[in-house]
């Protein structure tokens, strides 16, 4: 049984019950298109039943590989960009000790190939000079520029540090099952490999080896995460009434608000460890919906921190925004605010209270303030930040994204727009085959 709850009471001034119910038939059609694979992008719907059909032998292999990484390394470098690393990073950050890298009691996870900063990668090599490390490189093609550059650098570094033969046991490739540059080099060099399913796109791949292997290496119980996702899959795929299906309800609310001019959605949370969950969510919705000059712009803030910066805009800026809050009911640890004899800060009135209690009052106060300021609010609650709750959240947002994209009239499973910058970059780098574009751009410059 799923634990996630969605609350819309704060939207009553902005959306009527009848407006939500009017979406029922469209949502059932969208749900049917996802389940029967009749809509646009239907060749990338392998994620829909992934959690209920995943091979147990694959999970066993992932856990075994993760244990090997943990035994031989102090650092794991995850090479990937976009969906190839954001999901894993989101879950690892959410579930790990927030100062694990400094405590160095467990394997430290770091990331490469998600940018083209020379300083970043040079600094990374300084770290790796001093630590035993392994690499998980994630790329379906093996030719995406950012991860391919990082892999070249780290492959060379590994071979110089450990020798070519020992390097084989320190590189794991997650790539296409049969073709592509990374698959070819893995076969040639003898790296252990895992396959990215052909029918799962990058931003929906967190519950494939793409996300599961780095998470397992970080010590996360991936079986519990899959159980949470499976519970949400059952609801999203079987329930047809909006009020009984949280993904339908979320898709309905955000699309009704979009028709009312609310073109920016801000994902908010009150837990710093969810910062990269927001980054994963931004890619999922931005890359899925931003097409044909349509789409809700996904933004994110971390409270209470950003209440002292972006809070002013949310409260009194343009009224083209709505807010979705991920609310966590319980903290994993307990810490009370002490009493102070001098009480110069005036906080003795909350002495003896747990910080979570104060954080919850800040959240409630924020909801009231933003709602009074004209911001519709969707509240998504989970009991605690653990594997099961995050598994539910992953599947909930993925399924709602598919529904929402179909309601919007776009293909939520392609990303044609991301090629524009790549073509220009290749032309400026004078890559063979781009001569005409190179000449054209040079004239413009």
Q: Do 327 and 290 belong to one domain?
A: yes
Cα distance between residue 370 and residue 279, in whole Å: 22
Report pLDDT for 262.
Answer: 96
Q: Do 393 and 248 belong to one domain?
A: yes
Average pLDDT over residues 159-165: 95
Instruction: Give me the sheet containing 75-79, strands edge to edge.
Output: 108-112, 75-79, 133-138, 171-175, 192-195
Instruction: Give me the sheet containing 297-302, strands edge to edge.
Output: 5-7, 377-382, 321-328, 264-269, 297-302
Which is catalytic among the residues 265, 287, 289, 392?
287
Q: Each residue of 323-364: pLDDT tens digit?
A: 999 999 999 999 999 999 999 999 999 999 999 999 999 999
Domain membership flag for residue 91: yes
Cα distance between residue 396 and residue 382, in whole Å: 12
Of the candidates 2, 52, 84, the one whose C-alpha atom is nearest the C-alpha of residue 226 is: 52
Helix pair angle (275-289, 387-408), 10° resolution = 20
Domain membership flag for residue 433: no
Q: Do 280 and 136 belong to one domain?
A: no
Q: Do 247 and 281 belong to one domain?
A: yes
Of 220, 241, 262, which closes a domain? 220
Domain membership flag for residue 136: yes
Report pLDDT for 29.
Answer: 96
Number of domains in the chain: 2
Q: Each residue of 392-438: pLDDT tens digit?
A: 999 999 999 999 999 999 999 987 756 667 777 877 767 787 777 77
Sign of the CA dihedral 14, 380, 210, 47? negative
For residue 443, the tally of other CB atoms under 10 A from its CB is 7
Q: Residue 445: which pLDDT band, with cuts at 50, 70 and 90?
A: confident
Domain membership flag for residue 63: yes
Which is catalytic among the residues 308, 334, 341, 443?
308
Domain membership flag for residue 332: yes
Domain membership flag for residue 390: yes
308 in catalytic set:
yes
pLDDT > 70? residue 10: no
Average pLDDT over residues 192-208: 94
Q: Each residue of 45-79: pLDDT tens digit?
A: 999 999 999 999 999 999 999 999 999 999 999 99
121 in catalytic set:
no
Average pLDDT over residues 307-322: 95
Q: Do 79 and 140 belong to one domain?
A: yes
Q: Do 54 and 202 belong to one domain?
A: yes
Q: Do 193 and 93 belong to one domain?
A: yes
Which is catalytic among the residues 156, 422, 435, 442?
422
Looking up tokens 């209470």 gives 304
Q: Do 104 and 55 belong to one domain?
A: yes
Q: Do 240 and 382 belong to one domain?
A: yes
Q: Do 213 and 248 belong to one domain?
A: no
Q: Do 186 and 77 belong to one domain?
A: yes
Domain membership flag for residue 428: no
Question: Within 13 Å and on the Cβ side, how many CA atoms surround 188?
Answer: 8
- Mean of per-residue pLDDT scores for the chain: 92
Work out the burial of residue 53: count CB atoms within 10 Å of its CB; fewer than 13 is exposed, 13-18 middle, 19 or more buried: exposed
Of the candidates 200, 147, 176, 193, the one whose C-alpha atom is nearest the C-alpha of residue 394 is: 200
Report pLDDT for 168.
Answer: 94
CATH code: domain of residue 116: 3.40.50.10490
Q: Do 80 and 149 belong to one domain?
A: yes
Sign of the CA dihedral 20, 25, 29, 32? positive
Full domain range(s) for residue 176:
50-220
pLDDT > 80? residue 442: no
Domain membership flag for residue 380: yes
């Amino acid at each position: 049984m799923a634990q996630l709850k969605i609350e819309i009471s704060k939207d009553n001034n902005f959306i009527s019950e009848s407006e939500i119910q009017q979406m029922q038939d469209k949502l059932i059609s969208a749900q049917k298109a996802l389940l029967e694979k009749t809509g646009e992008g239907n060749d990338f719907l392998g994620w829909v039943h992934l959690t209920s059909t995943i091979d147990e032998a694959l999970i066993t292999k992932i856990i075994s590989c993760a244990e090997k990484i943990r035994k031989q390394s102090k650092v794991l470098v995850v090479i990937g960009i976009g969906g190839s690393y954001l999901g894993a990073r989101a879950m690892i950050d959410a579930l790990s000790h927030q100062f694990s890298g400094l405590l160095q009691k467990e394997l430290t996870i770091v990331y490469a190939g998600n940018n083209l900063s020379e300083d970043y990668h040079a600094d990374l090599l300084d770290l790796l000079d001093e630590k035993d490390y392994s690499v998980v490189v994630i790329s379906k093609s093996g030719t995406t520029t950012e991860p391919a550059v990082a892999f070249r650098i780290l492959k060379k570094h590994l071979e110089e540090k450990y020798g070519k033969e020992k390097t084989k046991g320190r590189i794991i490739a997650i790539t296409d099952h049969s073709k592509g540059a990374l698959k070819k080099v893995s076969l040639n060099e003898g790296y252990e490999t895992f396959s990215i399913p052909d029918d799962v796109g990058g931003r929906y791949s967190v519950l494939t080896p793409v996300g599961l292997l780095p998470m397992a290496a970080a010590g996360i119980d991936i079986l519990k995460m899959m159980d949470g996702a499976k519970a949400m899959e059952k609801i999203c795929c079987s329930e047809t009434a909006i009020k009984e299906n949280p993904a339908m309800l979320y898709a309905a609310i955000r699309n009704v608000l979009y028709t009312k001019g609310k073109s920016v959605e801000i994902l908010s949370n009150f837990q710093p460890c969810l910062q990269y969950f927001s980054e994963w969510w931004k890619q999922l919705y931005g890359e899925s919906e931003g097409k044909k000059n349509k789409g809700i712009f996904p933004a994110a803030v971390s409270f209470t921190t950003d209440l002292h910066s972006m809070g002013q805009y949310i409260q009194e800026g343009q009224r083209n925004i709505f807010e979705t809050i991920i609310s966590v009911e319980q903290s994993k640890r307990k810490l009370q605010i002490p009493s102070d004899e001098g009480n110069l800060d005036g906080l003795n009135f909350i002495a003896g209270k747990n910080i979570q209690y104060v954080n919850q009052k800040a959240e409630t106060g924020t909801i009231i303030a933003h709602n009074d300021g004209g911001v519709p609010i969707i509240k998504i609650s989970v009991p605690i930040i653990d594997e099961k709750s995050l598994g539910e959240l992953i599947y909930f947002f993925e399924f709602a994204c598919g529904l929402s994209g179909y309601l919007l009239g776009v293909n939520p499973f392609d990303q044609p727009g991301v090629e524009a910058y790549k073509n220009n970059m290749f032309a400026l780098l004078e890559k063979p085959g781009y001569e005409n574009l190179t000449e054209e751009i040079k004239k413009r410059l």
